[in-house]
Structures are given as C-alpha cells and as structure tokens.
Amino acid sequence: MFSLQKESSAMSGRRAFLGGLAAMGASFSLPARAAAVSPVARARMAFDAFVRAYWVEEKAYFRRHKGKAKPLDFWFSAHAWDMLIDADRLFRTARTKTMVRRFYDAFMRRHPDWRKNEFNDDILWWTIACTNAFAHTHECRYLQQARALFDHLAAREFDSTLGGGIWWKNSEHKSKNACANFPAVITACNLNVLTHERTYLDTARSLYDWGREKFFDLKTGAVYDNVNLEGRLTRWDFTYNVGTFIGSALRLHRATRKKQYIDDAMLAGRHFMKSLSRGGIVKPCGKGDGGAFHGVGFRYMAELARRSGEREVRAYIMRNAESAWTNRRASDDLVGEDWTRPPREDFDVEGQVANSALTTIILAASTR
C-alpha cells in the first residue's frame, strides 16, 4: 500500500514497543471525561459514531468521506473489515456479526478478482484479514480465499532478486517494500497455523530473514520502507511497517520459540513508543494513505502487549486510545489525524483516518 515512494507516484496518480515512558520524558495527563467510561463502553460509542458517519447500509460498505458515496479504497477496506472482526469479537452482537459477512460479500461484488490489483501489499492486507475472519467465524471461504491469493503471489512475486523478498507491485518489478514483505510473513504464519502445512512456515522464515536484513535497524528498532533495484534503501519510518514487523516476529516466536524473534519485536516496540510518539502519544501521519498507518501499527502493538505482558506497552496503548477518544470532535464523535486535539468542525475526517483511531480504541478495550 504505501511508501512515500507510492505517495510520490501516487500524488500524481494512485495515492499519495520496551522502554518506560519515563525514559522518553513523557508526561501526559488525561482530561477527567476520558476516565468516565469503561474501555468497552468507549469502544461501543466510538464504533457507533463511525458507523453513523461512514456506513452505507444498502451497499454494506464504509465510505471514504462522510456524506459522500465513494467507498473506502481497496486496502483501506481490508483494515475496515479487520476492525469489524475486532468489533464482533468484542461486542458479540447480531449486528456486528451480520456486518462482517455483508461487508465481505459487498466487497467481493465490487472486486471479484483481487489479482487485478497491481499492489501486492493491497492483496496481502486482505489475505491477513481473511485469515483473521476464518479464525473468528470458521467460514471456510475466507481461508480458501487467503490461501489461493497467497499461493498466487508466492508463485509469481517472491524471487531471489536483491537476495529474496516480495515485489511491491506485480505490474512492474522496481522495488521491494516492507509493507508487502512483512504482511506476507504474517499471512504465511497464519496459514501455517490454520492449515498445518510446514511450507508456509518455511516461506515466512525466509521472508522474515530477508526483510530483517534489509529493513530492520538493529540499533534503533526502526523498520525502513523499501529497497530499489540498485540496492538503495529508502529510510522512511512508519508505524505500519514497525507494526507488521512486530506481528511477523511474534508469530515466528510462537512457532519456533527462538528468542531472537521476541527480542526483535521488543526492540521495534520500543522504537514505536519512543521515536514515533511525542509525549506518549503517536505522532500524526496525515490523511490519505498515511491515515491508515496507525491502525495497523497498534494492531500489532496490542499483540505485543498481550504476548509480553509488559505494563508499559499496555499503558501506552490505553493512553493513546484514551487520548484519541478524549479528543474526538464534539459534533459527531469522530477522531482525526492528531490524537491530541479535536479536528476542526470544517475538517474532512477521512474514513481510514477515523478507522485507525477506532481500531486502536477497540484493541485497547480487548487488551486491558
């Protein structure tokens, strides 16, 4: 999905974890109203606000812009569906159960052949969501879709150029990007667990080793964005790349019990909390593609909190969820790009931006 490489071409075309917070010099006090409701109640209110603003009932999709007809883009929709699965797992209502099924069916009607998408990361966000949906609902069609698409990519888009990894785009092979490589590791690990086929784990380990060598800074925990055919590394540093690296490492640690993986996840998590945050709250990453980054990042930070049991990580997630909800807009309860201040009344809060905050709020309620 993104890479400011994508944004540069996209702007003209398609789209533009465990050191304590004290060590960061963080000091943050929450307004009284943030503590007035439980995390689950807060998540329910945030979910209801999001649905009021973006859900199109008759077509079963979330819109990109409040009050307009256009649905969320392909890869934004994958994260919105993941959010719906999280919501159904937390709330367990007939409404959320139905929305999960209807959203997928409607997306399939609009996009019957996902292979036509030129961005391999876009496809992989959906394969991850499909494995999550199968684990939650046990509907075989989700697993079948994830497996078919991943096997398709593995046969065509993984190769030894630059030593390994997966290409960012299937329409042209010019760079290999963290945003495709680590989601591929996550999908392969999930498929290994769900199918008990060892080849998926072998693929995951190979991709992880290559991506770790190319993108992971062993000193800082940063996860850089992409490498081009000349071997030049682009050092953009985004929450979603750090997040998927953490998710990859945690899955491989679960599968192998190799200590390196949990150490990697911890180092990347420290980087997330320290360098990608200010005063204990994640820094804004704008609208457009950047608006979806934090929801991805916090998904895997929440996994790190659950797996590690570290109080600092859990506190960081809760602090961000509380700050986001506290700084919602008064008129419609939507959260914008900056989780330390409410968006202006005249500001267009895009659906993927609001979904990042909502995902974090739901995950905080599930991680408490």
Residue ranges of domains in the chain: 4-367
For residue 148, give the amino acid letter: A
Which runs of consecutive H residues, i.e. helices, occur in the chain? 4-11, 39-54, 74-91, 94-110, 120-137, 140-156, 178-195, 198-215, 239-256, 259-275, 293-308, 311-326, 351-367
> Under DSSP, is residue 279 helix (H, G, I), strand (E, B) or coil?
coil
Tell me the C-alpha distance between 141 and 129, whole Å.
Answer: 12
Ordered per-residue pLDDT tens for the chain, 368 residues: 434 333 333 333 333 323 332 333 333 334 434 446 899 999 999 999 999 999 999 999 999 999 999 999 999 999 999 999 999 999 999 999 999 999 999 999 999 999 999 999 999 999 999 999 999 999 999 999 999 999 999 999 999 999 999 999 999 999 999 999 999 999 999 999 999 999 999 999 999 999 999 999 999 999 999 999 999 999 999 999 999 999 999 999 999 999 999 999 999 999 999 999 999 999 999 999 999 999 999 999 999 999 988 899 999 999 999 999 999 999 999 999 999 999 999 999 999 999 999 999 999 999 87
> Residue 234, exposed/middle/buried by CB under 10 A (0-12, 13-18, 19+)?
middle
Check if the beta carbon of residue 320 is closer than 8 Å to that of residue 298. yes
Pairing of strands 175-177, 61-62: unpaired
CATH number belonging to domain 4-367: 1.50.10.20
